[in-house]
Structure 1
Amino acid sequence: MRQAGTARILGRATTGLRQMRIAVINDYHGLAQQAVDWQDLAAAHVLDFHGRVADADAAALLAEAEIIVTAREETRFDAALLARLPRLKLLVTHGMSNAALDLPALAARGVTVCGTALGYPMATVELAWGLVLGLVKHIAAEDRTIREGGWGAALGRGLTGRRLGLLGLGQLGEGMARVGLAFGMQVVAWSENLTAERCAACGVQLVGREALFGASDVISIHMRMSPRTRGLVGAAEIAAMRPDALLINTSRGPIVEEAALVAALREGRIGGAGLDVFSQEPLPADHPLRSLPNTLLTSHIGGRTQENFRVRYRESHEAVAAWLAGRPVRVLS
């Protein structure tokens, strides 16, 4: 894995074109330069490639940048940071939404914001099922025990005949349902505006919110982050879960009240949690979730596959080139 750092390509100014500084940030796997030949831009501009850019370092690293390409939700572009980026004119983000971008503040400063395709959205479904299987089969504990010289750490459970409860039945929820049905699970779903017709089309049973939390063996969240969904899974919902039930979140951290979840996990009131997203990312080193044995944690990698990043960097390059030509594409703000 490529370590975080900075690699600089100094472009040669082309007659008639004003040289601009372009920063590609949070490329800590080095895929930006593998996926795209940036040399057509480097002919007239200065290209900087940075590893992970922490919020505290962003202003100093990016003060001279007029164009920034950022991976999704890695660096927070709020009004305070934007005030320290006086040269910024174009911001390109992976995907077509990014909770780390203050779009009104960007618009107020006259910064154009463009997005990219997500690529292969089922990657998130793949990870969600990885978390489910990792928890029910105790894969991490089994691996660790064998490496330490032991054998037979725990007795796992099966999924056939169990109930999968889906919060949300959009594209990703439907993908989860197909796999659950293939495992022989009973699949139920709820969201505020979900219809029986939509559920029937997916082979899923529509249930009430209380029934979903109270009777599901596995609950998986597949909703967009919004004021309506913030804190949707709170203390009452977690308290309603069965003592051996699992909660899976590959959507957004603030959908779950983290303190309530930590308390339930610590007290053994639910079976476990598989989490790819958190209220604060990266997860602080002293966060209690890091030390709870009934969790399986990943670092917001649901949609972050090599295939997806290659698509996103190709479209990021396209967005920069289009803006430089005066024809911006996939404009968000």
Structure 2
Amino acid sequence: MNRVRPKLFLLDDWEGRIRSAPGARRLAELAELTVLDRPLAEVPDEDLADVRVVLAIRERTRFDRATFDRLPNLELILQTGGHAYHIDLAEAERRGIAVALWRSHDACEAAMRELTFALAVAALRRFPEATRAGDGGQWPGLLGGTLRGRRLGILGMGLQGRAVARLAQAFDMDVVAWARPGGSTDAADGIPRLPMEELLATSDVVSIHLRLSDESRGLLTAERLRSMKPGSVLVNTARGAIVDEDALVEVLRNGPLRAAGLDVFAHEPLPADSPLRSLPNVVLTPHIGWTVEEAFAEFAEGAAGQLEDYLAGKLDPAELRFPLPADRGRPDLVGGVAR
């Protein structure tokens, strides 16, 4: 039987961590691996004609109709994330392109919840003001606050939210979570569920851990931001579009917010003229919640496992954005479909 390895392009490995990870060796055994040293847009069309698999690093490359047109034989996107905001999923499904979502979570989840508390502490202890004063040769007597004894309100009690709740209890925080409309207020995890209005009005720190969806987009409106507890802190490591960013600037300038710790923004990269950059009570990080060395090793290993399963016709349907076409992932053809 003639078993030809599919051609696989590794995209956007800016840090060089995927190509050097042990999982990359497995990928090279399973496929003809090419590590791009430039954006996909700069690759000639003729070099893309026989690419069947791409390994995408989070949201760094957008897959729209024009991109798919340049990849006429693409059949599988190994997506190192639990979502696919940057992929035109309807177009991928129409073309029969499988999208395999990320199945390794440990390192990224740990990194993101640790950043949540780093941002909260930095905001409460006024790190931006202290740093700017120190850079100017000053030695300011800034009065900050501790996490201990404060209330943390969590928006989103999925995997990440639950882990943040456990860590918050280790900081001796009082933890509450948002009771979604129609949801139970008597949770088995022992974390009280509150209506949105009560959570915002009583929480000293509000932390967002929601997926971006039609329900969550714009969830924190101007009205809700203005209703937050005076002197409170907002932390967002989820998605910038969940918050009305213009209104956030207003409440950071005029109250009631004391400060914010933000890793995500409505438009990324954050524009150079964004007022968020000049506010003294904002801690900004450039969407680095997931960028840790351990996560890239997981990406490579997870992608290799998914590719191996796909080529054997055994890829778990739960890892796919939509069902795999019936003629894909056939074990008699490495690379799936005979084109």
User: Given the two structures, how large is their TM-score scaled by the length of structure 1?
Assistant: 0.83
Question: 2:170 aligned with 1:182, yes or no?
Answer: yes
Corresponding residue for 2:269?
282
Per-residue deviation, residues 119-172 of structure 1 (Å, max 9, x unmatched): 212332111011000111123433443354332352211223322111122232
2:207 to 217, 220, 224: 220
> Would the aligned equivalents of 2:23 and 2:297 in 1 still touch at CA under 8 Å?
no
Stretches of structure 2 lacking an aligned partner (at least 5 in a row): 323-339
Corresponding residue for 2:8?
22
Structure 1 segment 77-92 matched on structure 2, within 5 A = 77-92=63-78
Residues 223 and 209 of structure 1: CA distance in aligned 2, closer, same or farther (over 3 Å): same
Q: 2-side partners of 1:62 and 1:298: how far apart?
A: 36
Identity of aligned residues (%): 36
| 1:34 aligned counterpart, secondary structure | coil
Corresponding residue for 2:53?
67
RMSD of the TM alignment (CA)? 2.8
1:197 to 186, 189, 199: 186
Deviates more, 1:251-260 or 1:169-178: 169-178
Deviates more, 1:266-275 or 1:122-131: 266-275
1:238 to 225, 243, 262: 225
Deviates more, 1:34-43 or 1:287-296: 34-43
Q: 1-side partners of 2:121 and 2:218: how far apart?
A: 26
> Would the aligned equivalents of 1:223 and 1:229 in 2 still touch at CA under 8 Å?
yes
1:208 to 182, 195, 202: 195
> Would the aligned equivalents of 1:58 and 1:81 in 2 still touch at CA under 8 Å?
no
Residues 310 and 98 of structure 1: CA distance in aligned 2, closer, same or farther (over 3 Å): same
Residues 303 and 38 of structure 1: CA distance in aligned 2, closer, same or farther (over 3 Å): closer
Residues 217 and 21 of structure 1: CA distance in aligned 2, closer, same or farther (over 3 Å): same
> Would the aligned equivalents of 1:164 and 1:218 in 2 still touch at CA under 8 Å?
yes
1:269 Cα deviation after fit: 4.1
Corresponding residue for 1:12?
none
1:122 to 105, 110, 116: 110
1:250 to 227, 230, 237: 237
Residues 177 and 323 of structure 1: CA distance in aligned 2, closer, same or farther (over 3 Å): closer
Question: 2:278 aligned with 1:295, yes or no?
Answer: no
Question: 2:126 aligned with 1:138, yes or no?
Answer: yes
Corresponding residue for 1:9?
none
Corresponding residue for 1:331?
320
> Would the aligned equivalents of 1:119 and 1:307 in 2 still touch at CA under 8 Å?
no
Q: 2-side partners of 1:241 and 1:51: how far apart?
A: 46
1:17 Cα deviation after fit: 4.9
> Would the aligned equivalents of 1:168 and 1:221 in 2 still touch at CA under 8 Å?
yes
Q: 2-side partners of 1:294 and 1:53: how far apart?
A: 36
> Would the aligned equivalents of 1:221 and 1:249 in 2 still touch at CA under 8 Å?
yes
Q: 2-side partners of 1:277 and 1:253: how far apart?
A: 5
1:98 Cα deviation after fit: 2.0
Q: 2-side partners of 1:236 and 1:248: how far apart?
A: 18
Residues 147 and 218 of structure 1: CA distance in aligned 2, closer, same or farther (over 3 Å): same
1:255 Cα deviation after fit: 1.2
Residues 291 and 147 of structure 1: CA distance in aligned 2, closer, same or farther (over 3 Å): closer
Q: How many residues align?
A: 316
Residues 277 and 318 of structure 1: CA distance in aligned 2, closer, same or farther (over 3 Å): same
Q: 1-side partners of 2:282 and 2:47: how far apart?
A: 36
> Would the aligned equivalents of 2:26 and 2:304 in 1 still touch at CA under 8 Å?
no
AA aligned to 2:76 is: L
Corresponding residue for 2:329?
none
Stretches of structure 1 lacking an aligned partner (at least 5 in a row): 1-14
> Would the aligned equivalents of 1:135 and 1:296 in 2 still touch at CA under 8 Å?
yes
Corresponding residue for 2:35?
49
AA aligned to 1:47 is: L
> Would the aligned equivalents of 2:126 and 2:281 in 1 still touch at CA under 8 Å?
no
Deviates more, 1:317-326 or 1:93-102: 317-326
Residues 246 and 43 of structure 1: CA distance in aligned 2, closer, same or farther (over 3 Å): closer
Per-residue deviation, residues 56-115 of structure 1 (Å, max 9, x unmatched): 658969844331101122222123432333232211101332221222210111212212
1:220 Cα deviation after fit: 0.7
